[in-house]
Structure 1
Amino acid sequence: MSVTAASGFAAAGVAAGLKSSGKRDLAVVQNLGPLNAAAAVFTTNRCKANPVLWSEQVITDGVVSAIVLNSGGANCYTGTRGFQTTHETAEAVAERLAISAGDVLVCSTGLIGEQLDLDLLKVGVWDATLAIATGDAESEAAGLAAAEAIMTTDTRAKQAAYTSPAGWTVGGMAKGAGMLAPGLATMLVVITTDAVLDSKQLDTALRHATRVTFDRLDSDGCMSTNDTVALLGSGASEVRADLDEFTVALTGVCRDLAEQLQADAEGASHDIAIEVVDAATEDDAVTVGRAVARSNLFKAAVFGNDPNWGRVLAAVGTTDAEFDPYGIDVAINGVQVCTAGEPDQPRELVDLTPRAVHVLIDLHAGDRAATILTNDLTHDYVHENSAYAS
């Protein structure tokens, strides 16, 4: 199901002691080849963590042999010492796997502004690489252990996989429960494939896939400093994939992971899909959907099972999208509550007791559409994030 679903990959997840809970907190995924093709996208937050700064340089030649990920600390705003920690972590992985440190991506997640313990990281790298060398590191269990090691406030590991009739596979793992907002990538995601594709092809497919999946998950409007989505290609299937077919498959795996992230968002009691149709452009549809997704008034109303469609229109009106403000239709969970900017069916007919909520906004301005995924705003979300560092 996970990063080991595709052939040519080994993984391990171990407890390095970075988390006080004693749970797994460090993972290594190794590309066993024969290819070492790769692509990655990162947060567009200008305030980037040290692992992102490192990995942006690593990916420039499209060659990645391994990726090391830790939870228990973001290694962001930790100065030159923090960057050196990133560098030495990559070197430790490289030494153990007999590869170049310049071919090792590094990812971290956790609290900003706290130094990571380099000694613990190195112990974790030793244990993880030992497990890869001596254990059943290409098994489903190994993939699950890696997925568990990158969790922070997640309540469960996120994994997905797809096998093409042509004989190649895409597998992936993700972490994320808070700070779910777009910026080319969201959260930490590692995707593997054994299809024969070069780095340029992987990059093209990845950018398409993230644009319509992770980039449209906007749980709380907060963009992380550490967001990374990496795609590694081993070519171990020896099957050259059709790029269009591969892109569709990759997009499906990314959508699966994005929906799992949405369903595990911090404190959420409703999963909300905001579908915007008949927009003048796709960008307009995204802009409108995102404005509604980021409306705390709307999200609080959904938490209270209140189908307050006026808050939907108020959010739409803050955008620069093309539409007639008095020609918009809104339906919530199948009930047409607003037509042409006027009340339609009574809002009391809307049932918001199920977890799934669907909001349909028709702009009547064109033929483009987009869907944004978000969650409601709950007491639990506020509590979890007010106590995150305590």
Structure 2
Amino acid sequence: MSVTAARGFEAAGVAAGLKSTGKPDVAVVVNRGPRKAGAAVFTSNRAKANPILWSQTAIGDGVVEAVVLNSGGANCFTGSFGFQTTHQTAEKTAELLGVSAGDVLVCSTGLIGAGDEVFRAKVLAGTEQAIAELSPDGGAAAAEAIMTTDTRPKQAVAAGEGWTVGGMAKGAGMLAPGLATMLVVLTTDADLDAAALDAALRRATRTTFDRLDSDGCMSTNDQVTLLASGASGIQPDPDDFADRLTLVCADLSAQLQQDAEGASHDITIDVVGAVDEDDAVEVGRAVARNNLFKAAIFGNDPNWGRVLAAIGTTSAAFDPYDVDVSFNGVRVCTAGGPDRPREEVDLTPRATGILIDLKRGEHSARILTNDLTHDYVHENSAYSS
């Protein structure tokens, strides 16, 4: 159940000393082929880390031989030195694997603004060590090596008829669309070209990672990469492949939500009755980013007034006095007024469901978020200390 579940892939995760804890912090995933196709989507933040700038160029020809990932340092806003570090990482990987540096993607995660000669030396040494330890059984170690404030590794697998999709992810904070603060590597042994991978990946991320909005903060280092080895020799139906890929992405998204920094509630916001999908997403996103709503959930308070107030900031089509809101299956608001007593709502379970019916159409959308807690504030107030 890992990024090496699909045939044709090897991985490793090693401790290079980037983390003061001594835990693994450099991972490598290699595509052994016979096909070396790849696709990727990146953060939409205009402030992009050096690995993103490199990988956006490298993915251009649709060929990816390997992905190198480090935790313990974002290599972002580290100037030309930082970009050279990324370049040298790709070159070192290429040299050791006998491939082109332009076919190596690089990912980093950790503290922004940190990076020096020691950081570079450790990344390069870790890359060399990881390549020496590559194995078809190395997926679990790789998933552990990309963790930062994560409390556990995230992995998922879905099987098609004779082919497989596997993946790993990291992320626990700065989870907002475009893509969430995460690094994700997805692999498949299906025989698909880069164009097919790109179409399936964009379809899958649109309704999964892009709708994970834990804290409304967008990272500089987000990257989701999909690799195809073609080792199964099977060319699946495009829709079937996209469906399996979406299952893996949805599974990883839920794992990211459930490990969000300091969270005590995992909140699923379902918006129904919208004129179109865009309206449903906009409404769900507005509620997910409303700190008053998130604080109320932390306090186990089914304050539906905060939901309506958040909806009212959107441009979606709805009548504020014709909206229903339910908390964990109890409709506390109907037609813009009180319905069932708040005392009937049990918000003590971690899993929390909010249902919003706009009563204007047939479209819907789901947004994943978390509550706002003391622990979240504490953890992020001391992140760089």
Length-normalised TM-score, structure 2 = 0.99
The aligned counterpart of 1:157 is 153
Contact 1:185 1:210 in 2 (8 A): no
Contact 1:17–1:120 (8 Å) recurs in 2? yes
Using the TM superposition, give the Cα deviation of residue 126 of structure 1 relative to its aligned residue in structure 2, in angstroms. Answer: 1.1
* Alpha-carbon distance between aligned partners in 1 of 2:97 and 2:255, rounded to the nearest angstrom: 32
Matched, 1:256 2:251: yes
Looking at structure 2, the residues matched to 33 and 364 of structure 1 have their Cα atoms a distance apart, in angstroms, of 51
Residue number in structure 2 paired with 1:32:
32
**Aligned residue number for residue 133 of structure 2:** 131
Q: CA deviation at 1:304?
A: 0.4
Counterpart for residue 177 of structure 1: 172
Aligned-partner Cα distance in 1 for 2:181–2:113:
20
Work out the CA distance in 2 between the residues paired with 1:314 and 1:189. Answer: 35
Partner of 1:100: 100
CA drift at 1:177: 0.1
Question: Is 1:206 aligned to residue 201 of structure 2?
Answer: yes
Distance 1:376 1:347 in 2: 18
1:158-198 superposed Cα distances (whole Å, 9 cap, x missing partner): 0000111x200000000000000011565100000000111
Match of 2:335 in 1: 340
Q: Distance in 2 between matches of 1:185 and 1:356?
A: 20
| Aligned match for 2:354, one of 344, 359, 362 | 359
Q: Are residues 1:326 and 2:321 paired? A: yes
Pairing 1:13–2:13 present: yes
Q: 1:120 aligns with which of 119, 122, 142?
A: 122
Cα offset for 1:35?
Answer: 0.4
Report what 2:285 is aligned to.
290
The partner residue of 2:242 within 238, 243, 247 is 247
User: How far apart, CA to CA, are the structure 1 residues paired with 2:70 and 2:177?
Assistant: 21
Show CA shifts across 1:91-139 (max 9, x none): 011111111100000000000011151111111011101112xxxx001
**Structure 2 contact 275–363 (Cα < 8 Å) conserved:** yes
CA distance in 1, matches of 2:67, 2:368: 28
State the secondary structure of the residue aligned to 1:218.
Answer: coil
SS at match of 1:144: helix
Deviation at 1:260, TM superposition (A): 0.2
Identity of aligned residues (%): 71
Cα deviations across residues 57-92 of structure 1 (Å, max 9, x unaligned)?
A: 001111000000000000000000000000001101
Q: Which residue of 2 aligns with 1:82?
A: 82
Aligned positions, number: 383
| 1:128-156 CA distance string (max 9 Å, x none) | 01112xxxx001xx101000000000000
Partner residue, 2:3 = 3
Kept in 2: contact 1:41–1:185 (CA 8 A): no
Q: Report how far residue 332 of structure 1 moved.
A: 0.6
Counterpart contact for 1:5–1:170, Cα < 8 Å: yes
Residue 300 of structure 1: how far off its partner (Å): 0.4
Q: Kindly provide the amino acid, as one letter, of the partner of residue 244 in structure 2.
A: A
Q: Residues 279 and 366 of structure 1 are in contact (CA less than 8 Å); yes or no, is this contact kept in structure 2?
A: yes
Q: How far apart are residue 348 of structure 1 and its match?
A: 1.0
Task: Look up the SS of the partner of 1:183 in the other structure.
Answer: coil
CA deviations over 1:297-321 (Å, ceiling 9, x no partner): 0000000001001000000000000
What is the aligned partner in structure 2 of residue 280 from structure 1? 275
Contact 2:25 2:146 in 1 (8 A): yes
Q: 2:297 aligns with which of 298, 302, 316?
A: 302
Q: Which amino acid aligns with 1:123?
A: A
State the alpha-carbon separation in 2 of the partners of residues 231 and 118 from structure 1.
26
Supply the distance in 2 between the matched residues of 1:346 and 1:93 (Cα, whole angstroms): 61
Q: Which amino acid aligns with 1:118?
A: R
Instruction: For residue 19 of structure 2, give the secondary structure of its aligned residue in structure 1.
Output: coil
**Considering only aligned residues, what root-mean-square deviation do their CA atoms show, in Å?**
0.7
Q: Displacement, 1:325?
A: 1.3
Matched residues in 1 for 2:348 and 2:18: separation?
40
Secondary structure (helix, strand or coil) at the match of 2:142 reads: helix
Letter in 1 for 2:47: C
What displacement does 1:219 show?
0.1
Give the Cα–Cα distance (whole angstroms) in 1 for the partners of residues 304 and 324 of structure 2: 10
SS at match of 1:326: helix
Counterpart CA distance in 2 for 1:176 and 1:184 is 11
**One-letter code of the match for 2:127?**
V
User: Could you tell me how far apart the structure 2 residues matched to 1:202 and 1:185 are?
Assistant: 21
Query: How far apart are 1:347 and its partner, in Å?
Result: 0.9
Q: How does 1:62-77 map to 2 (within 5 A)?
A: 62-77=62-77
The Cα shift of 1:23 comes to: 0.5
Contact kept? 2:173, 2:181, Cα under 8 Å? no
**1:244-268 deviations in whole A, cap 9, x for unaligned?**
0000000000000000000000000
Gaps of 5+ in 1: none
Name the amino acid aligned to 1:182: P
User: In structure 1, which of residues 120, 135, 148 is the aligned counterpart of residue 144 of structure 2?
Assistant: 148
